[in-house]
Structure formats: C-alpha cells, structure tokens
Amino acid sequence: MRVVRFYETGAASVLKLEDIESQKPGPGEVSLRVHSLGLNRAEVLFRQGLYLEKPVLPARIGYEASGTVEGVGEGVTGLSPGDYVSTIPAFSQSKYGVYGEQAVVPARFVSTMPGSLPPNEAASVWMQYLTAYGALIDIGGLSKGQHVVITAASSSVGYAAIQIARDAGAISIATTRSAAKKDKLLEAGADHVIVTDSENLIARVKDIAGGKGAEIVFDAIAGSILDELAKAAAFEGKIFVYGALSLERSPFPLRTALSKGISISGYTMFQITKDEERLARGKKYVLDRLESGAFKPVVDRVFTLDQIVDAHEYMESNQQCGKIVVSCD
C-alpha cells in the first residue's frame, strides 16, 4: 500500500509517497481501504512542526478519510468488513495518519456514513462540522435570531458554521479578506459578508445587528483582529478562538472585555471528542442533518494521491472555498 510520510518538518515538499506492507488492525482498531482524504489546516501545521501534537519522525499524517472497513481488531463491535465509513479526527497523526491507500485507526473514531454521501464528501464531514458544532451549539447555545460572526469563512469549517447558523435560525455574518470570495459565501448561505480589506468590521457588524453587536463570534484568525472582534461583540457576547491563522501575538482586549462582560475562550474540537457523551450527541446532530439534506459538505478541489504536495501547497495559498480533497481510488 502507498502511504504518505515525512522525515523532517518543513515545506510541503517534505511529504513523501512510499510503499509499505499492508497493516493489520490491533485490539480496538480497524483497517480501512481509503477512498478519499479531507485536508485540514491542522495537517499543514503538523507537517511544519507547529501543531498541538509534535510529529514523531518519520511520521504518518492525516486526520480525515472516507473508506471501506477491511478488517477489525480484537474487541471491536459495531463495525464489520465492508462498512462504508469515515474517520473522526481525534487521534495521533504520527501513529494513525490516514494519508495513503490504507489506514489503521482507533475504532472509537470511525463512523458509518450514509451510502448517499459520495466518498469525497464523506471525507469532508467531521473536522468541519464537529468543530463548528462544539463552539456554536454545544457550548455557545446558538439560537434563533442571534447574530454570529464567522471569520475566515471560506474555509471548510467556515462553510459548516454558515450551515449550522442557518439550521439554528441564526443570522450569519461571514468575513473574508477577498472580495472575490464574497459571492461564493453568499451563494453558500451566508446572510451577510464583510470584506475586511475594504470594509470596517466593527461598524458593519453593529449595523447588521441593529447596533448591539454579535452574540457569538467564531474566530479562526486571532492576532490583532481579536480587538476588533471584541468591539463588534454584543454585551456579554461569547468569542470562541479556534485557530491562529495570523500567527501574531494576540493581546487580550481587557478594557472591552470588562466594559461588556465578554467571554473569550480558546476552543478545539477535542473538547467534544474526548467526552463520549458529547461526541455521541455531536455525531447524531451531524448525521441527522446530513441525511435530511440540511448539511452538505462543500468540496473546493480534488487532487490525486500523487499530487499530495500540490494539494498542501494549494491549501497554503488560501485560494480555496470549502474543502480540499485527495482521491485515493
């Protein structure tokens, strides 16, 4: 089987496609014949040595895959060879990375998928929907009529947040630096789009929200924009920071936070996946809406496994609107 590994951290070119012997699942594990991979910013950071988990070299890489179960290890129940599944990104990439034609992963983080969902879309589900669900619904309690600011909204997580806001009856305010992405975000269901390179973020949010600001802010950027987001938030608003795309220091907006009673929280999807009950609720929430058609993953571009370096370079170019997928079939 061909798999992707890297022997040093750095640019996308460190990713190597190699032949290895097929692997057998151990206790509590399943082996998958991989159909498609969903790429995530976390994997770029992991490859660069900048992610929460540090790679153990030589390292496998990759969180999300759709595929067919080939084998089950001792003690695994609820999954059988032939099942159509996708992986939930809550395991070690170094140990269980899914980039390749085969993957062995913990059975706990494998979910059966509706047969109506094509492999490219099935590989584009859990990181985006569970990440947005955890902040907006599980913790944030987003409800009908509330305003939610979604930064870096052209990412796959941003698209998921737009769909979640629409499903909850909330008003989504998507932000992007690129005017070229505005129409695509509106087509995807965003109620409002702010192009931050040419519009005043604070003024526009307050205008949209009737002067009071947004009850929830879902931020992937951090850095200097955090001060603007705090000023755009409503009284006792909630700001969830789930990424640091700016790579800048993020000064805490103390005066604004004190004057409006704002809560600013660091957040990752692992807050959901580490808790069995919360994960079960999140899975049901997402699967129910996939089956009803309320949620539909947006796939931006599909690469082949031989193009894995190109796929990573494309992600780093920030051109995408939705999920970048690699087909392994």
Asked, for residue 28, whether it belongs to a domain, the answer is yes
- Please state, in angstroms and rounded to a whole number, the distance separating the CA atoms of residues 185 and 153: 8
Residue 284: exposed, middle, or buried by beta-carbon count in 10 A (0-12, 13-18, 19+)? exposed
CATH number reported for the structural domain that contains residue 201 in this entry: 3.40.50.720
Look at the chain and report how many structural domains it folds into. 2
Whether residues 235 and 250 share a domain: the answer is: yes
pLDDT in tens, 39-87: 999 999 999 999 989 999 999 999 999 999 999 999 999 999 999 999 9
Same-domain status, 141 and 105: no
Alpha helices in 169-224 (DSSP H): 182-187, 201-208
Q: Which of 252, 270, 288 is the last residue of a domain?
A: 270
Q: What CATH number has the domain bearing residue 61? A: 3.90.180.10
How much is the pTM? 0.94
Residue 293 within any structural domain of the chain? no
**Domain annotation covers residue 190:** yes
Full domain range(s) for residue 165: 127-270
Looking at the fold, whether 215 and 315 belong to one and the same domain comes out as no
Q: Which of 274, 272, 304, 300 is nearest to 286 (CA)?
A: 272
302 is a domain residue: yes
Q: What is the dihedral of CA 246, 316, 164, 172, to 10 degrees?
A: 50
Structural domain ending residue among the three candidates 270, 290, 315:
270
192/185 Cα distance (integer angstroms): 9
Q: Are residues 135 and 86 in the same domain?
A: no
78 plus 111 within the same structural domain? yes
Domain final residue, candidates 234, 250, 270:
270
Residues 93 and 61 in one domain: yes
262 in a domain, yes or no? yes
Q: Is 288 within a domain?
A: no
Report yes or no on 9 lying in a domain.
yes
One domain for residues 19 and 41: yes
User: Is 40 among the domain residues?
Assistant: yes
Residue 187 and residue 217 share a domain? yes
Residues 55 and 176 in one domain: no
Q: Are residues 121 and 232 in the same domain?
A: no
CA distances from 189 to 54, 110, 184, 195, 327 (A): 37, 29, 9, 16, 27
Same domain, 260 and 302: no
204: DSSP letter: H
Same domain? For 222 and 236 the reply is: yes
Q: Which residue has the tokens 């059966």?
A: 112
**How does pLDDT run along the chain (329 residues), one tens digit per residue?**
999 999 999 999 999 999 999 999 999 999 999 999 999 999 999 999 999 899 999 999 999 999 999 999 999 999 999 999 999 999 999 999 999 999 999 999 999 999 999 999 999 999 999 999 999 999 999 999 999 999 999 999 999 999 999 999 999 999 999 898 999 999 999 999 999 999 999 999 999 999 999 999 999 999 999 999 999 999 999 999 999 888 889 999 999 999 999 999 999 999 999 999 999 999 999 999 999 999 999 999 999 999 999 999 999 998 999 999 999 98
